[in-house]
Amino acid sequence: MATGVVRLIGGWFKYRAPEHFSPSWVPPLLGFLSLCEKHNSPEGLTALRILWSRSEYCDFGPTILPVLTPILAPTHPLKARGLALRIFCRVTAGWFSPQTENVPGADLDRFLQVVGDPFHFPSLPFQDRDPFDEVYDEPWPWKATVVLIEFASSDLWRNHLRLSNFTSCEEALSTEEGRRRALRFMFDAAIQSRQELLCTPAKIIAAIRCLEELRCFNTAGVVILWAWTADVVDAVDHDAWGLIEGATLDFYQTHGIRRLTALSRHITDAAMEYAHREFLLTYYQGPPCRVGSVRKLTPSGDAMHQWDAQDFEVLRVSQVCQLSRLYRLFGCNPITWKEMVAVGEVGEETGTSLLRRSVTSVKFTDWACDYP
């Protein structure tokens, strides 16, 4: 009887808008999925499709975790595993809800074990895919990795992460294009979920420390790129920036000056301009401003403010100010910066030792770019 009902609902939702989905339907659908696991019913795939198509409109909380865990396991059919991974990406708010704090640590361990390395999820053969089904789009491993990076900033999740969750990501982030793609998906995640993604110095530093402990240095470097490029921390909040600057200096002193070239390039990367704009519209309704009161990160709910050419100029000047902040942090000007980084390119150990000998950190307690 339940199978027949789910089949009818699945057909009905093909032609209905998301608002027709009631959150009160979530518990029975999750219960049905549990039954399907016990009885190997193929209609579980239909229930997963319904939940996936409506997941961004519902707060599942931790109730979906014990249901997704067995479906994500390598022994499960590939179609269902792919849908489960995509639901994992979409229900981000639930992973950080207060109710999730009551989930036993062993269950969180098992969950991250079956999530594993998102890039290692096998692709579904083309002949087995449903036509025009976006669920199989390639970016999903990147989206899942962004969620795992958020976990690194969370007191609840960070101790359950493992190096195997980031193995392929570490390789992808060793390239310029990989770092650019990761930042783009971090912007997308913040825009689409309206979550405060790594928005405080405490979260940023916690994520860096966790990833360093896992020896995921490329991924930790991307968190630093995010801190310096996304404008989540107000430029005139000197206390907050003092913490970020300290973590940045420690990271490059420990892991080598060679990595600094990526940071300086990405601060003014024109390829990220439109993603950055959409992010700022979502949270601030306008471009960053480096004077006046400290801004509060508050999702605006709309994007009524349309940017014009002058707004883009404001953004570019803001980026130059940020680059100046970075130079000052390492006691450099544009010329000495190039010289310092050039030495670092020779070898990581040489660059590290030079950085430790020559850099005098400049604190910004009384400095901020005065334009715009």
Q: Which residues of 101-134 are buried (b: 16+ CB within 10 A; e: fewer)?
A: eebeeeebebbbebbbbbbebeebeeeeeeeeee
Among 191-200, 293-302, 316-325, 337-346, the minimum mean pLDDT is found in 293-302
Among 50-59, 238-247, 271-280, the range scoring the smallest mean pLDDT is 50-59
Which whole number is the average pLDDT over 86-104?
Answer: 88
263 within 8 A of 225, measured Cβ to Cβ: yes
Distance (Å, whole) CA 89 – CA 140:
8
pLDDT category, 246, cuts 50, 70, 90? very high
User: Is the predicted pLDDT of residue 368 greater than 70, yes or no?
Assistant: no
Mean pLDDT for the chain overall: 79
Residues of the chain above pLDDT 70, percent: 76
Q: What is the pLDDT of residues 55-69, one digit of tens each?
A: 766 777 788 899 999
**Residue 251, CB half-sphere, CA atoms under 13 Å: how many?**
32
Share of the chain above pLDDT 90, in %: 30
CA dist., res. 22 & res. 87, Å (int): 17
Amino acid, res. 309 = A
Which pLDDT value is given to residue 357? Answer: 36
- Is residue 372 classed as helix, strand or coil in its secondary structure? coil
CA of 174: how far to CAs of 55, 213, 260, in Å?
32, 18, 13
Question: pLDDT confidence of 285, banded at 50, 70, 90?
Answer: low
Inform me whether the pLDDT recorded for 372 exceeds 60.
no
Distance CA 94, CA 341 (A): 42
Instruction: Give the tokens for residue 35.
Output: 């039954």
Beta-carbon contacts of residue 366 (< 8 Å; ≥ 6 apart):
none
Residue 307: the pLDDT is 66
One-letter identity of residue 288: P
**Using an 8 Å Cβ cutoff, are 205 and 158 in contact?**
no
C-alpha span between 110 and 12 (Å, rounded): 35
Burial class of residue 63, CB neighbours in 10 A (0-12, 13-18, 19+): middle
Q: What is the pLDDT of residues 156-190, one digit of tens each?
A: 999 999 999 999 999 999 999 999 999 999 998 88
